[in-house]
A and B are shown apart, each in its own frame.
Chain A
C-alpha cells in the first residue's frame, strides 16, 4: 500500500499545515486542539509545528470561540474553528447564524467573514443523542453559509484548502467514522484544491442514480460494488458541498438512468436531500424519471446508544443494496 493512502485526519492536518504555511493570517482555535492534538486527533502535532498562538487552545466556550473567530475574520484573519462535536454548534448558533452568515449581506457587502468551522459529525461511535447528529440541514437553510461534507481523505484535503481560501463562512462537517479509515485513493502531497460547488461523479451506471452525502458516499460505493455483481449498474454522485449545490451531474445522470435514490444519515423529515428531490421534481430531469424517487435517510429519532439501535437508526450498506435492487426490479 502506498504511504499516501492517508486517513481523513491526516489529510485534514496536511491541509491546515499547508494553509498556515501559505498565509500568516490562518490560525486554528478550539478546545483541546493543542498538546492534546484534538478530540479526534485531527490537529495532531500542529501545536508543536506552529506554536500556541496559531494553534490556540480555548476554554470550553463554543459561543465565545466562534464569536472570536468572527471578529478575527472581520479583522483580516482566516480562522479555522474546530468544534469537537457538531452537536455543540448549538451552543454557538447565534454567532454562526445571526452573525457570521449575515454580516456580509446586512452591512451591504463592505465586510466579509472568511471563517471555516470544522466539526465532527454523524453517528456510529456509541456516543448517543448529543454527540452523533448530522446537522447539515440546519446550516444549508441559512443563506450566507457554505456547507461542505467531505466523503474521503482525498476530498477532505482539497475541499478544506478551498474552504480556507473562501471569503465566506464555511461549515465543514467531518464524519467521525471517516477520521481513522484510509481512503480508496491516494492523497497527493502538497497543495491541491477542489472547488466548492462542484459535484463529483464517483462511478457511472445505467440503472440508478444515487446521490449520497458524507459517509453515505462510501456506503453507496460499497453497495454499488455488491449490486454490480448482480448486474445492477449504479451511478454514485457526491455533491461534496450541499451549499452551494451543483445539480447538473444529477440531471445529466437521470437522463440515462431514470431512477433516483438519495441517501443521507440525517433524519428524513426536513432533511437536506429533500432539496435534491425538490430540484429534480421542479427541474429539467423530471421527465426522465421512470420510477418513484427512493429516499433513504436516518429515522426520525435521536441517535440511540446501543450498537444495534444505533445501526438501525441510519442507512447501512445492506439497506442501500436492498432498496436499489427493488427500485430497479419494480420499475422497468
Chain B
C-alpha cells in the first residue's frame, strides 16, 4: 500500500495525528531521497526540484484541509502531492515516464496532479498556480461548495505579477483562498535579501487588504495552527490570508545547482532545524511517542517508498503511439 488517506486535524491532537504527521513528513523525505538516488543512477531523466528540509509546511498545511479542499502546487511539489494523499507508486511511475504514472509520462515531476485528492497540479511556471487557486476559490464561492483553495508558492513567485493580480482578485471578491508562501530563502540563486526590500514577505498582504503572518515553516504544528485559522476565515466568507512559512531547502534548486550562492555553514545550520527531528523532539517531550515508535514510523515510510519504486519499475513505458490522445479532451456527443 503506497497511499495513505489525508488525516485532518492538529498534529498534536492525538497520538494518531502525531504519528500521521511524522509518517507523512518521513514519506516525503524518503520519496525524495529515492528520487535523488534514481537520478544519480541515471534511471530518471529531465530534472527535479527537491523539497527536503521543507516537509513540515506541506504536511502542516494539508492537515488543515479536507480531501475536497483544493491545492495548487509548484515545481517543488512532491511534498504537497504526498501530503494531500497521492499514491507514491503513481508519482514514481510518472518520474520514470511510465504509462501508469499520474500523467502517463506526459508531465513528469513538474506537472503531477491528482483529482481524487483535490490537487490541481504542480506547475513549471513560477507563480502559475496562484491565479488558478483563486479561480478554484471563485468556483467554490459561486457554487456554494464550502471548500477552500490553497496555493503553495515560493518566495520567488511573490515577485511575479501573477501573485499580485491573484491576491487582489481574491481580496476584492473575499474568496476562500489561502496563499501559502514557502519562503526557503532563495529563488534559485537569488536570496530574499536581494529580491525583496521588505522585512517579512507576509507584509506583501497589506497592500491587498489581506492579513499576512510569518510562521516557522519547520514547525509542523505551528504551520497547522496558522493554516487552520486561515482556512476557518476562508470558510466563514472573510476572504484570503497570506501565510509566509519560513523554511529552507537543503538541496540545490535543481540538478544543475552547485550551491555557489550560499555557504556550507548556512546549509548545515539549517539542517540542525530539521523539521522531522524538531517534531520528534516535541512529541517525545510531550510523551506522545517513543524512540521505538519513531523508528517504526520511518521504517514504514522506507518500506512504502521501496514498494512504490519496485511497483513503478514494473510499469509499461509510455507509448509514443498514444502521444496525441490527450492534447484535446474529446467532445462528447
Which residues from chain A sit less than 8 Å from chain B, CB to CB?
24-25, 27, 53-54, 58-59, 61, 63-77, 79, 94-95, 98-99, 103-112, 143-144, 146, 165-168, 196
Q: A71-B149, A111-B113, A146-B328 are in contact. Are A61 and B169 (CB under 8 A)?
A: yes
A111 to B107, CA, bound (A): 13
What B residues does A53 contact at CB under 8 A? Answer: 142
Q: A64-B165, A111-B113 are in contact. Are A98 and B124 (CB under 8 A)?
A: yes
Contact across chains for A64 and B111 when beta carbons are under 8 A apart: no
Contact of B135 among A54, A71, A105 (CB under 8 A): A71
What B residues does A165 contact at CB under 8 A? Answer: 331
A-B CB contact pairs (8 Å), 5 listed: A72-B136, A74-B136, A75-B140, A109-B329, A196-B331
Contact across chains for B136 and A108 when beta carbons are under 8 A apart: no
A68 to B134, CA, bound (A): 5
A229 to B211, CA, bound (A): 72
Quote the shortest CB–CB distance from A21 to chain B (angstroms): 16
Contact of B115 among A106, A110, A146 (CB under 8 A): A110
What B residues does A68 contact at CB under 8 A? Answer: 131-132, 134-135, 138, 166, 169
What B residues does A79 contact at CB under 8 A? Answer: 135
B214, CB-defined interface residue at 8 Å? no
Contact of B111 among A59, A75, A107 (CB under 8 A): A107
What A residues does B101 contact at CB under 8 A? Answer: 108
B72, CB-defined interface residue at 8 Å? yes
Residue of B124, B128, B166, B328 contacting most chain A CB atoms (<10 Å): B328
Quote the shortest CB–CB distance from A196 to chain B (angstroms): 8
What A residues does B166 contact at CB under 8 A? Answer: 64, 67-68
Contact of A64 among B169, B327, B332 (CB under 8 A): B169
Quote the shortest CB–CB distance from A65 to chain B (angstroms): 8
Quote the shortest CB–CB distance from A80 to chain B (angstroms): 13
Q: A71-B120, A104-B326, A107-B111 are in contact. Are A64 and B136 (CB under 8 A)?
A: no
Q: Which residue in chain B gives the minimum CB-CB distance to A69?
A: B135
Contact across chains for B162 and A64 when beta carbons are under 8 A apart: yes
Q: Which residue in chain B gives the minimum CB-CB distance to A243?
A: B328
Q: Which residue in chain B gives the minimum CB-CB distance to A71?
A: B135
A148 to B172, CA, bound (A): 32
B63, CB-defined interface residue at 8 Å? no
Quote the shortest CB–CB distance from B48 to chain A (angstroms): 16
Contact across chains for B125 and A98 when beta carbons are under 8 A apart: yes
A303 to B123, CA, bound (A): 36
Quote the shortest CB–CB distance from B321 to chain A (angstroms): 15
B215, CB-defined interface residue at 8 Å? no
Q: A71-B134, A72-B136 are in contact. Are A104 and B142 (CB under 8 A)?
A: no
Q: Which residue in chain B gives the minimum CB-CB distance to A97?
A: B125
Contact across chains for B138 and A59 when beta carbons are under 8 A apart: no
A103 to B103, CA, bound (A): 10
B161, CB-defined interface residue at 8 Å? yes
Residue of B107, B124, B131, B161 contacting most chain A CB atoms (<10 Å): B131
What B residues does A70 contact at CB under 8 A? Answer: 131-132, 135
What A residues does B131 contact at CB under 8 A? Answer: 63-64, 66-68, 70-71, 95
Taking CB atoms and an 8 Å cut-off, the chain B residues in 232-262 that contact chain A are: none
Q: Which residue in chain B gives the minimum CB-CB distance to A66?
A: B131
What B residues does A94 contact at CB under 8 A? Answer: 125, 128, 162
Q: A59-B172, A107-B103 are in contact. Are A71 and B133 (CB under 8 A)?
A: yes
B102, CB-defined interface residue at 8 Å? yes
B1, CB-defined interface residue at 8 Å? no
Q: A61-B165, A63-B165, A144-B328 are in contact. Are A106 and B135 (CB under 8 A)?
A: no
What B residues does A196 contact at CB under 8 A? Answer: 331
